[in-house]
Amino acid sequence: MSTCIQKEHSVESAVAGISADRRSLVSLIARLRSPSGQANPFPLYHELRERGDVVRAPWGAHLLTGYEVCEQVHRNGRTWLVPDAAWRARNGAGSFRWNAPSVQGLVKTLAWLNAPEHTRQRRSLGNVFGRGAIDALRPFVEATVERLLDTLAERLREEGEADFVPLVSEELPVATLGHWMGIPAGDHALLRELMHALEPAQELLPTKSELESAAVGMTGLRDYFTAFVRDRRRHPGDDPVSRWMRTWDEIEPDREAADENLYNLAMFLTIASLETSSTTLSVMVSLLARDRDRWQWLRAHPAHVPDAVEEVLRYDPAIHVSTRVAAEPTVIGGVPVEKDEMVHVLLGSANHDPRRYPDPDTFDIHRKASHLSFGVGPHYCLGAALGRLQTTSLLTGLLRRFPRLGVGAEPVFAPRVAFRRLMELKVVHE
Ligand code: HEM
């Protein structure tokens, strides 16, 4: 059994009986999980990087802090696997996390599969967000942006201040996904709620109570998408799930297995797209609208909107941590790692590594730098183009319609380390 499983529980409970150095590491991780750490984790990432590119975590896994090691692990999908069902069977006995129903549901989905099954499933989806598909979605996304900005304008007119999160950032992704996948508007609120409940299952160190509420999310999503796939069987159309159904009927003779895969794929695309996109939209407004001069400059130079979006993605990505396990004994950043040992890839830290980004904590829309915010390698984000379409469309609409947009109060983040979520973002227009 790997050490990370034996010692998985709370970081704080690991304090007893460890050296001063490890105790200070535990305190650093606790600060990262605190509200102030979530509001600004970047100084803490610098502290972590000062300890090395590969830092042994108190629960036995390794934290990867530097850009190069993070990129290397993501890119090398032969040596570095996602912790799939086989890994869990070897390492998860007695672990409340790996046996939690929510996690058991998640490990059947795309991001938790390794080759060859991962390759088969990913191929079955086709090039869903290629240029043609994105061009076809653009009018809907732009019209939805206009509709949501009408609501924002009205709220600002009536109340002088508005919470951008429920009005815009939570709405655009679910409307877009719903339109694309054919999910009725009446179901959007339910899906958002279930997905928020489930998300902590993907956290760095989920607590038992988080896993319990995640189980409710998983059950609800499973019921919803099982019925959804059944409905597509009865009424196939020209939507993505019906197209995948035709593919699966060709490659998988067992109808039940085909439908199970369809349900997992449709559910996972929903999970993968909603919070990540909402967080990116909120973070974008929070970073850009707090500097009036920059806002004005962007209004005058809209051709730089894509550069601004890339800097938002680099500066504060929606996913700060991804996880991999070693397929064989190996070495990363000069540190030996045993087969099955776990590494946490700190994408948020990698994106602020001063060896790659000069003055990394400065938000600079002229930087034109690449980043790890959509991952890299075999699990590279399938929806990156759609994420970019939503962010650029929204920013373009905001710049045009709200010349004096500002941030009313410091945004409130959920107490999470891996999957960022803004709970509240007050904006003003004055
Ligand atoms: C700006 C918004 C988004 C961000 C920052 C983001 C980020 C990421 C990252 C970092 C990964 C890789 C995780 C890993 O390697 O462990 C990923 C994977 C994935 N993303 Fe996104 N994502 C975004 C939007 C979307 C959207 C809109 C969709 C779909 C409609 C989507 C679908 C997926 C899928 C299916 C995967 C798993 C790919 C695989 O395992 O092969 N994402 N995303």
Task: For ligand 1, say whether the CB of 373 is within 6 Å of any of its atoms.
Answer: yes
- Quote the pLDDT of residue 149: 98
Cα dihedral sign, 6-89-216-164: positive
Alpha-carbon distance values, 260 to 160, 214, 228 (Å): 48, 20, 12
Predicted pLDDT at 9: 45
Q: Is 97 helix (H, G, I), strand (E, B) or coil?
A: coil
Q: Is 318 in the pocket of ligand 1 (CB under 6 A)?
A: yes
Task: Give 383 Cα–ligand 1 centroid separation in angstroms.
Answer: 6
Tell me what pLDDT residue 272 has: 96
50, 65 Cβ separation under 8 angstroms: no
The C-alpha atoms of residue 238 and residue 217 are separated, in whole angstroms, by 28
Check pocket membership of 382 for ligand 1, CB cut-off 6 A: yes
- Dihedral (C-alpha) 38, 43, 44, 50: value to the nearest 10 degrees? 160
pLDDT at res. 336: 97
Probe ligand 1: pick from 374, 380, 422, max atoms within 8 Å of CB?
374
Q: At what angle do helices 171-181 and 131-159 cross, to 10 degrees?
A: 140
Count the domains in the chain: 1
319 CB within 6 A, ligand 1: yes
Which residue, judged by its Cα, is nearest atom 8 of ligand 1? 374
Ligand 1 pocket test: which of 371, 382, 386, 422 has the largest number of ligand atoms within 8 Å of its C-beta?
382
Residue given tokens 């598909």 in the structure block: 133
Please work out whether the CB of residue 206 comes within 6 Å of at least one atom of ligand 1: no
Question: Residues 92, 355: contact at Cβ < 8 Å?
Answer: no
Angle at 385 between CA 120 and CA 243, to 5 degrees: 45
Q: Where are the beta strands (DSSP E) in 149-293?
A: 161-163
- Distance in angstroms (rounded) separating the CA atoms of residues 178 and 172: 10
DSSP state at residue 398: H
SS3 (DSSP) at 167: helix
Per-residue pLDDT, 7: 43
CATH number at residue 41: 1.10.630.10
Q: Tell me, what DSSP letter sits at residue 336? A: E
Q: Which atom of ligand 1 is nearest to the CA of 323?
A: 16
pLDDT at 94: 82
- 90: tokens are 């070897």
Nearest ligand 1 atom to the CA of 74 is 15
The rounded Å distance from CA 159 to ligand 1 centre is 36
How many whole angstroms from its chain centre is CA 5?
23
* Closest ligand 1 atom number to CA of residue 313: 5
Q: Quote the domain boundaries for residue 304.
A: 3-429
Predicted confidence pLDDT, tens digits, the chain (430 residues) = 343 443 444 444 444 455 778 888 989 999 998 889 999 999 999 999 999 999 999 888 999 999 999 999 999 999 999 999 999 999 988 888 888 999 889 989 999 999 999 999 999 999 999 999 999 999 999 999 999 999 999 999 999 999 999 999 999 999 999 999 999 999 999 999 999 999 989 998 898 899 999 999 999 999 999 999 999 999 999 999 999 999 999 999 999 999 999 999 999 999 999 999 999 999 999 999 999 999 999 999 999 999 999 999 999 999 999 999 999 999 999 999 999 999 999 999 999 999 999 999 999 999 999 999 999 999 999 999 999 999 999 999 999 999 999 999 999 999 899 999 999 999 999 8
Distance of CA 8 from the midpoint of ligand 1 (Å): 26
Residue 217's contacts (CB-CB under 8 Å, 6 or more residues apart) are: 102, 194, 195, 196, 197, 198, 199, 201
Which atom of ligand 1 is nearest to 125's Cα? 35
**Ligand 1 mutation target, pool 381, 390, 394, 422, most atoms within 8 A of CB:** 381
Q: Tell me the residue type at 299.
A: R
